[in-house]
Amino acid sequence: GAGVSQTPSNKVTEKGKYVELRCDPISGHTALYWYRQSLGQGPEFLIYFQGTGAADDSGLPNDRFFAVRPEGSVSTLKIQRTERGDSAVYLCASSSTGSYNEQFFGPGTRLTVL
């Protein structure tokens, strides 16, 4: 079956602009996760949803970052007033109920802030 999909695959923006990154989880997966990964580092947790609600948003670095999942499927990560330090690969993952939280990652969105 289809895996996690993310769009766009690449996004180049200018400092101060607003960006939206989209994630479409594996069909039937109830939990959805956002991470970001910088070069040479492991993924860093941002937020995860169980259904429509954010179960843990402790990894969002500041109030410029916001994520939604209004219908419990597709999620959008929104970044306002982008900064050069936001440049990274943004990864989305999903997992099914009762799977002991085995998370399956999408291909990622590479965000570059100029």
Partner 1 sequence: QKEVEQNSGPLSVPEGAIASLNCTYSDRVSQSFFWYRQYSGKSPELIMSIYSNGDKEDGRFTAQLNKASQYVSLLIRDSQPSDSATYLCAVNREGSQGNLIFGKGTKLSVKP
Residues that bind partner 1 in the complex, under the rule CB under 8 A:
31, 33, 35, 40-45, 48, 50, 55-56, 58-59, 89, 91, 95, 100-108
Question: Minimal distance in Å, beta carbon 108 to partner 1?
Answer: 5
Question: Minimal distance in Å, beta carbon 70 to partner 1?
Answer: 19
CB nearer to partner 1: give 72 or 107: 107
Contact assessment for residue 45 and residue 38, using Cβ atoms and an 8 Å cutoff: no
Q: Is 47 exposed, middle or buried (0-12, 13-18, 19+ CB in 10 A)?
A: buried
CB nearer to partner 1: give 70 or 98: 98
Determine the Cα–Cα distance for residues 20 and 1; give it in Å rounded to an integer: 26
Determine the Cα–Cα distance for residues 40 and 46; give it in Å rounded to an integer: 18
Question: Minimal distance in Å, beta carbon 33 to partner 1?
Answer: 6
DSSP 48: E
Determine the Cα–Cα distance for residues 69 and 37; give it in Å rounded to an integer: 21
CB nearer to partner 1: give 40 or 70: 40
Question: Minimal distance in Å, beta carbon 41 to partner 1?
Answer: 6
CB nearer to partner 1: give 93 or 113: 93
